[in-house]
Each structure stands twice: as C-alpha cells, then as structure tokens.
A and B are shown apart, each in its own frame.
Chain A
Amino acid sequence: MIIPKLALRNMLGAGAKTWLNGAVLSMAFVTIIFAQGLYRGFDAEVSKTLIDAEYGGGQYWVEDYDPYDPFTLQDAHAVPAPPLRALIDAGRAAPILIVQGTLYPAGRVLPVAIKGIDPAQRQLSFPTNVLTASGDGIPALIGSRMAKSAGLAVGDTVTVRWRDVRGAFDAKDLEIVQVMTTTAQTIDEGQVWLPLATLREMAAMPGEATIVVLDRDASPVAAAAGWSFQGLDVLLKDIKDIIKGKTIGASVLYAILLFLAALAILNTQLLSIWRRRKEIGTMMAMGVTRGRVIGLFTFEGALNAVFAAVVGAVWGIPLLAYLAVRGLSMGANQGDSFGIAMSDTMYPSYSAGLVAGTTLLVFLITTIVSYLPARKISKLKPTEALQGRRA
C-alpha cells in the first residue's frame, strides 16, 4: 500500500509538471474520443439514411442488374419470383422498375434512370405518395440535385424519351409534382421517379421489376429463382469501407497526439529519476527491492493517465455532450463532394466501449513509457545512488 501512497504524493508534489502532463494527455483523450465518435456518428447517420431511402431491409436484384453499369438496365427486368410476389402482395416488399431514358429539359439532353415505384409503398421513406397526383401529364418526383441540374421546379412539364421492351422509341410529357430534399444522392441525381404502374405500361413490362426492396424486419425468402438477395452488409459495404479508410487515416493523428503525450511523460520520468537518485539510493539502502522501486516510478507515471482521465472528463464531457446534442456543421451539401449520403450537420456518437478502450490505450502507453526509464534503476547500486551518480 506504501507504493500507491508514495506515488500519489510524488505526483501531486510535482505541481506544474503534473498539470502539464495531465493537460496534454487529456487533450489526446478527448480528441481521440471525439474523432472516433464523429466517425461512429457519421457511419450511423449515413447507414440510416441509405436504409431509410434506398435499401430498406435488403434488396433482391434481378439477374444481370448491376447498379454501377447502366448498360445492364436494358435486360435487367423480370416478373418477381413467386416468393417475392407473395411479399409484395402482403405489403412487405416494394418492387422498383428501372428503365434508361433521356430527359429534355428546355431543349437540353439529359440521360436519366426512370424509376417506377408503388406510390403506396411503405418500405422507403421518401414522398412517393405524391405520385398519385392526377393531372394531364404523368406525375414525376425528382430530388433537389436533379431539379438543379435540369433546371426544373414543381409544376414544370418536361419531355422524357425512352425505349420500350422491344426497342421502340416513345416519348411523353412528365409533370414535376414534387422536388424532394434528401441527403441520399443515390435516389436523386440523374433519376426521375414515376408511378410503377405507369412505367410498366410505358415500357411494356407488365408486372416486372428490376429490384425488390424488403421491409426492414423482413427475412430473405428461401429461394427466388432469377433474383439474388443483397443484404445490408453487402449494400452498405462501400460506405463502411470509406469510413474504415477514413478511420485508419485518422489513426495517424491519434498516433501523433499519443506520441506527444508519451514524450511528455517520458521526459517527466527521466527528470524525476535524475533528480531523485539519492532518494532511490536511500530506499534501496533501507531494503526496498529494485522491483518495488521500479514499481513506484511506473505507478507514478500510470497515475498521470488516471489524472488526465479526470481532467479530460472535467472539460471533455460537457464539450462532447454539447457536440453530440447540437452536432457539428459540415457546410451545405458537403456530402455531395464526397459522393455519400452525409447530412449538413454531423452528430458524434460515443459508446462506453469507445471511452473505455481509449482510456485503456492511453493508460497502457503511459505505463509503458513510465516503466522504460524506471527500468534503469535496476542497474543502480545503492552506494552510487546515494552519491548521486547516474545509473
């Protein structure tokens, strides 16, 4: 029990040095927890947006469909397999038909993916219900990015040209019934949403779909011939990989912060051992074993981590809590420049595991850098120490 008491007394006795170490270490603590929390929040936000707006509880893709290759769209359509039709009939899945087309806003040519969706679907959270609007033209829903690039607004009429299933050209006027604002540009840019029944009729593809989106709590069906299931792990893989890559990149920052903090601790320990060599010699002469002396200095160093955790908690908890509630403004449409569904304000998300893990990491590093200089004491002879010689 004597070692902890001695260590605590020595640490408190160090005064400004202890505060300096605590401040540097606490900054490392809080910064790491904040940055990791920001990535966690970012991951949660983007995943939720994509699940709500596009992925639902997973998707079935018709054979030949490749979302990254628009040239596959020509053949990527079929009547959903019976198990999928049963889910659709029960209102637990939403079929979406995708047809390649060309939009002619104000005489310009704009290639688009024309997407047909049931206005009454409940799987995706965007305003498909507006597609029931009855008017002269075909009701069309577009996103704000699409509206901007095409120069379209609610109430505008625009001609769309497409080819039906046999390759014959057709063209009709669409009426923009709503411009939706969404952070998911994957349901916005280069896309026009129409009522499913209308698009099926336009393309002469009765009952057909390109993808089927499941309810969030629906389980994949046993077998759907001609259709392949894409779970959220697959659909969100790209975004997870991006976030993972960014997290790894941020680790460099953590390493620099921890290195600086470790350097401060190491410097303190080296100075401490140098200044207290007579004390060390006395302790050894009184029968304190080398191991216990090493333990004392290592413990003193480790106490710095505990002190830093307390200091970090004092200023970090209110700051991190504030940021978690108010969020961090990223600027308007910053997500678009990254090509991901990121909202204008990011809300960091912290977990007990994150805080505990960071604390443990800092504690371990501090203990190791405290142990390394203390190890030298083992080579010191009590007589030399008492004379004030270095080991």
Chain B
Amino acid sequence: MSRSAILILIGALAASAAAFAQAPSAEEILDRVDRNAVPGSKILVSEMTIHGRRESRTIRAKSWIEGEDKAFTEYLDPPRERGVKMLKLGDRLWTYSPDTDRAISISGHMLRQSVMGSDLSYEDMMEDRTLRDAYEARVAGDEAVGDRPCWVLELTAKSGDVAYPSRKSWVDKERFVVLKEERYAKSGKLLKTLEAGAVGRVQGRWLPFEAVFRDALKEGGGTEFRILSVAFDAPIPEALFTKASLRK
C-alpha cells in the first residue's frame, strides 16, 4: 500500500471517529428534547382544531403551566366552551363548567376519555413523565423530515405502566424538537401519530408552533394544535393552582 493510500485511510478513519464522537447518545438526545419541552413555567395561548367526520371546530385556550405537575387551562372560545377550566395537580385533574358551576374530579377510566372530542385523551394531556424517565432509547438512524435532518429514535417503555409501550420519534438534529412521532400499542399496532409544523424559537427554546395529532385507528383529519403566543419562565401566582381558582 502506498504512503498516500495509508494517509487517506487514516484520514477517513479519523473523520468517521470524529463524527461518532460528535453524535450524541440516544439518552442525550432525549435529555435535550425534555429540556426543550419542559421548562420551569410557561404561559401559552393555543388553539385546538378538532376535525370530526362531519365538521371541524376550533377551541382557543390559555394555559399556565408550572413544571411537570401543575397546569391550569381556561377555554376562551367558542362561546359554548368559554369559561370551562381544567386544573391538573400531579396525577389529579379537575374540570369546571360555568353552566353547572361545579368542579368535577376526572379520575380512573375517565382520564382515558377524549378531551372535547379531540384525538387526545386527558391522560395524553396530563403526560408528565419526561421521555428520559419513561423510555429506553436507541438511535435507529437518521432521516429528514421535510428539509430538517433528524435522528430517528426508537423508544421502549422502561416499565409496564407507560401508556404507549413504544414510540418512534424523529428529532431535529439541530433544534432537538420532535418533528414527527408514532406511538405504538404493546402488539406493535400504530395508535397515534404526531406531525409538527412550523418550529420557532422563544427565549432561547425551540418549540413546534403547530402540530397535528391523529388517532391512527380512526378516520378523520386529526386534531390540530397551534400555539398563538407563549412566554417561558413567567411568574405564575401559586393561588392559580388551587381548586378555588376554578370558580373565579
């Protein structure tokens, strides 16, 4: 072998070793995703468009979220839903309807019901475990989603009490945002999909401003979720996360 050939081979090996050294591990990717998705606190105004078999309807809401355990949501529109509130404290959830002036605790099987006919259940919305806590991850490869290069992660639940035993996530290599996700049943059947749309940066964090959730077993256009405005690390009065605030 000539001297130049040896040099090329050494160069190629060194380059691939450097590339390996730069690629984060699956756990590191999950950590970065979690850090992006679960800030200290956030206040956001969002819209949810539910595409049913016959018609679509849009619900606008404002949410105050503190870490993984506390969330308060008030529906702003349409008029029929205006004033409906939801409070999440740990694994407990209450909803309040101004029509009945009653706060109802949502628990047990009721958490598995759809939220306002959407493709999301209360449990989906309450998901508070970080991906790193809930799943073992493996980098299965890389693939572009649109024009964004992504890592493809295969996630397997660490324990049997995780709602979706496995997931496949496409994570933006640069922004560490999940751009696409497939959630699977224990049998391997595809149950839900998520496709993120426009991704933006707010206060140094990347987050998807648009996403479409679909129940893969159901017909329909899925549920679109749009963030209209968001503020991270904004001060939220502690009194908001109490049952009393539901009636205010």
Residues of A within 8 A of B (CB): 70-71, 73-75, 100, 104, 106-109, 159, 161, 163-164, 166-172, 204
Contact = CB atoms under 8 A, between A and B. Distances in A.
B153 to A, nearest CB: 19
Given A104-B217, A108-B219, A164-B160, A169 B109 contact: no
B189 A172 contact: yes
Contacts of A170: 165, 185-187, 189
B109 A167 contact: no
A169 B219 contact: no
Given A70-B109, A168-B161, 7 more contacts: A75-B108, A106-B219, A108-B218, A164-B160, A169-B191, A171-B217, A172-B187
Contacts of B189: 159, 170-172
23 contacts: A70-B109, A71-B108, A71-B109, A73-B109, A74-B108, A100-B109, A100-B112, A107-B218, A108-B53, A108-B219, A161-B185, A161-B217, A163-B112, A164-B186, A166-B161, A168-B160, A168-B164, A168-B186, A169-B164, A169-B191, A171-B185, A171-B217, A204-B160
Nearest to B112: A163
A130 to B, nearest CB: 23
The secondary structure that dominates the A interface is mixed
A367 to B, nearest CB: 60
Interface in B159-174: 159-165
Contacts, number: 64
B12 interface: no
A159 B217 contact: yes
Contacts of A100: 109, 112
Contact of B162 (A71, A106, A108, A168): A168
Contacts of A166: 159-161
Contacts of B159: 166
A162 to B, nearest CB: 9
Contacts of B163: 163, 167-169
Top-3 shortest CB links A-B: A107-B219, A170-B186, A166-B160
B157 interface: yes
Contacts of B186: 164, 168-170
A167 B161 contact: yes
Contacts of A107: 217-220
B161 A169 contact: no
Contacts of B110: 71
Contact of A109 (B112, B157, B161, B218): B218
B134 to A, nearest CB: 11
A70 B112 CA distance: 12
A109 B162 CA distance: 23
Nearest to B162: A168
